[in-house]
Amino acid sequence: MKNILDQIFTARKEDVASDKRKVPLEELKSKISSAHPVRDVSRVLRQKIRTRIISEIKLRTPFKGVLREGVEAQEIARIYEEGGASTISVLTETRHFGGSVDIFSRVRSAVNIPLLRKDFIFSEYQVYEARAMEADWFLLIATWLDKNQMTDLAELGKELGMQALIETHNEADLEKAFHTGAPILGINNRDLTSGQTDLDISRRLIPMALQEEGKIVVCESGIHGRKEIEEFEAMGAHAFLIGESLMKAPDISAKLRELLNDNGANR
């Protein structure tokens, strides 16, 4: 029986095949030629003025169900930008996470900070699509992709001006991530095959990830407050991708200020 990650990628293969028929690759390339320049996400994530939060727009998950209803993605994006998020992650997978290319496009029109296309990317078409929708960086999941495939996709993104966020969950994933040479490594505390979250994943992998000089380390999933952020910053993490804690907060702006330890004086 397939685990949930396998099921999602199987569904994405069907969806991408359909997308190719609706929007041929040449049409995407034409859009890229007139797209705005890519924003430098590496520079943003290396800034040490304050905690770097990658705030995520995620409407639902296969693990937790609906996270938030009745709020437009553009409105949430503006709250994130005004609240001090360094960059915004937007889910574009539809069947399991309720995202879409249209949602991404609406967010892109609402804010000026870098946007991460977060999806289950396995094909060159999706990388071209990410740039055509004016993403500044994109996600590659090392748990599912092999190292050569991931390297090729990261290199294509680089040719188009984008960085790849190589997401890892264990030592084998890190080895594959190092093979790509990509500078931004994500450490996902959530096991995407089961939905289980364990912060000890970051405690174990952050020191390993930092053994390669120049890497930017992003801590993902299971971050709910300043205590975890301060612990992982002390270990060397550069940024934190946070979705559920923000999307479920009664006051998103207040929750973001709490995570940033920001009373307004640090702007």
13 tagged catalytic: no
**233 is known as an active-site residue:** no
Q: Give dist(CA 63, CA 196) in Å, integer.
A: 9
Indicate if 170 belongs to the active site.
no
Residue 167 annotated as catalytic: yes
Tell me which of 55, 86, 89, 188 is the catalytic residue: 188
State which H helix or E strand residue 140 sits in.
strand 137-141
Catalytic position from the list 55, 86, 202, 221: 221
Report the distance separating Cα 195 and Cα 206, nearest Å.
21
Q: Which of 93, 134, 167, 244 is catalytic?
A: 167
CA-based R_g, the chain, Å: 17
14 is catalytic: no
- Looking at the DSSP bridge assignments, the partners of residue 188 are 220
Closest CA to 199 of 234, 165, 228: 228
Catalytic residue (choose from 58, 93, 202, 244): 58
**Annotated catalytic residue within 55, 81, 93, 118:** 118
List Cα–Cα distances, 233 to 63, 103, 223, in angstroms.
27, 31, 12
| Closest to 111 measured CA to CA, from 141, 91, 82, 147 | 82
Residue 255 is among the residues annotated as catalytic for this protein:
no
Told to judge if 56 belongs to the known catalytic residues of this protein, a careful annotator would answer yes
Single out the catalytic residue among 93, 129, 134, 220. Answer: 220
- Annotated catalytic residues are 56, 58, 118, 167, 188, 220-221
